[in-house]
């Protein structure tokens, strides 16, 4: 994630400096989504959960579902659901 590359930098500001930058509203929506998931805290720093979610090559909400499934000891059905939802 960008916050790991540039400590203390706002994510929107980082993307705004790129030559082919994405829409600012899209970036803000993604940041809100990561905060809601718990991957980022209020200051846009990566949380412990966010660091674990970086290990999964899937949507953060699906990664969080996998982590919670392990904790709640119901991995098999959740893994099947995540595999179906992550398949493009």
pTM: 0.75
Contacts of 27 (CB under 8 A, 6+ apart): 11, 12, 15
pLDDT digits (tens, 9 = 90+) for 24-66: 788 889 889 999 999 999 888 889 999 999 999 999 999 999 9
Q: Please give the Cα distance from 44 to 9 (Å, whole number).
A: 9
Domain segments of the chain as ranges: 1-55, 57-88
Report which of 60, 34, 49 is spatially closest to residue 12, judged by C-alpha positions. Answer: 34
pLDDT tens sequence across 63-79 = 999 999 999 999 999 99
């Amino acid at each position: 994630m960008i916050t790991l590359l540039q400590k203390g930098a706002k994510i929107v500001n980082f993307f705004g400096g790129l030559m082919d930058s994405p829409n600012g509203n899209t970036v803000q929506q993604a940041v809100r989504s990561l905060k809601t998931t718990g991957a980022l805290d209020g200051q846009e720093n990566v949380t412990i959960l966010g660091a674990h979610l970086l290990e999964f090559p899937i949507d953060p909400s699906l990664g969080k579902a996998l982590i919670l499934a392990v904790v709640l000891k119901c991995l098999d059905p959740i893994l099947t659901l995540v595999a179906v939802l992550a398949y493009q």
